[in-house]
Homo-oligomer: A and B are copies of this chain.
Amino acid sequence: MESIRIVIADDHSLIRQGIKSIICQDQGMEVVGEAADGLELLQLLQGREADMVIMDITMPGMNGIEAMGRIRELYPDMLLLILTMHSNRQYFYHSIAAGAHGYLMKEDSDTELLNAIRTVCEGKTYVSPQLSQEVTDEMIAAFRDRQRVPLVRLTEREKQVLQMVVKGYTSKKMAEILCLSPRTIDHHRASLLKKFGMKSTVDLVKHVLRNSIVVPE
């Protein structure tokens, strides 16, 4: 059982020291390098063999998100753990999209850091409980918002047409399917726009999809 070789990237040397001292307490892991920004980190990785990078998002020069992208290309097996003070969910989403395996907050406890490292090493994803809570809260808020959308009463034809509009059909195609004049379809489409208070088909489709008024497929 070899120990986990970790590289730390953070523009504050104090933070790097802190992380190092916590990691050193555990026999199963060691710090094999330090960098102050993304570019330095990439240079460091060329020389050293490492299993995991613990990095901040906001760094001068090349930021963490960009550096992660490069690392994913050059070393696909590298484990990436974000350790940041940003509870901003956008940062989190971007990190996940960029391929992060874990997202930890600097406010989290020391044991959480060791937890996160071990979890990520097992191939699982680690998310700071704090942020996890926020993501859930955001989901709940979106869920409740949906319940509040004013109810619009649609006729049978309008429902049929709306379904097909969302599928991307043209009025002509719908007219063929329903054996009607394209003009009739146009009328129903106009009604739909008016009833939902939308000014274009794009807005209509976005609205009904976001509010689950029609189910895609």
Could you list which residues of chain A lie within 8 angstroms of chain B, going by C-beta atoms? 93, 96-97, 125, 127, 129, 131-133, 135-137, 139-140, 143-144, 147, 165-166, 168, 170, 199-203, 205-206, 209-210, 212, 216
Q: How far is the CA of A127 from the CA of B129 in the complex (A)?
A: 11
Contact assessment for A139 and B135 in the assembled complex, using a CB-CB cutoff below 8 Å: yes
Q: How far is the CA of A209 from the CA of B170 in the complex (A)?
A: 20
What residues of B have a CB within 8 angstroms of the CB of A129 in the complex? 129, 132-133
Contact assessment for B136 and A200 in the assembled complex, using a CB-CB cutoff below 8 Å: no
Contact assessment for A168 and B97 in the assembled complex, using a CB-CB cutoff below 8 Å: no
Contact assessment for A137 and B125 in the assembled complex, using a CB-CB cutoff below 8 Å: yes
Contact assessment for B209 and A168 in the assembled complex, using a CB-CB cutoff below 8 Å: no
Q: Given A97-B147, A143-B96, A168-B202, A127–B137 Cβ distance below 8 Å?
A: yes
Contact assessment for A136 and B140 in the assembled complex, using a CB-CB cutoff below 8 Å: no
Which residue of chain B has its CB nearest to the CB of A136? B132
Q: Given A143-B96, A143-B97, A147-B97, A166–B136 Cβ distance below 8 Å?
A: no
A97 to chain B, nearest CB (A): 6
List 22 contacting pairs A-B, 8 Å CB cutoff, sorted by A: A96-B140, A96-B143, A97-B143, A97-B212, A127-B133, A131-B136, A132-B132, A135-B136, A135-B139, A139-B139, A165-B202, A166-B202, A166-B206, A168-B199, A168-B203, A201-B202, A202-B202, A202-B205, A205-B205, A205-B206, A206-B209, A209-B209
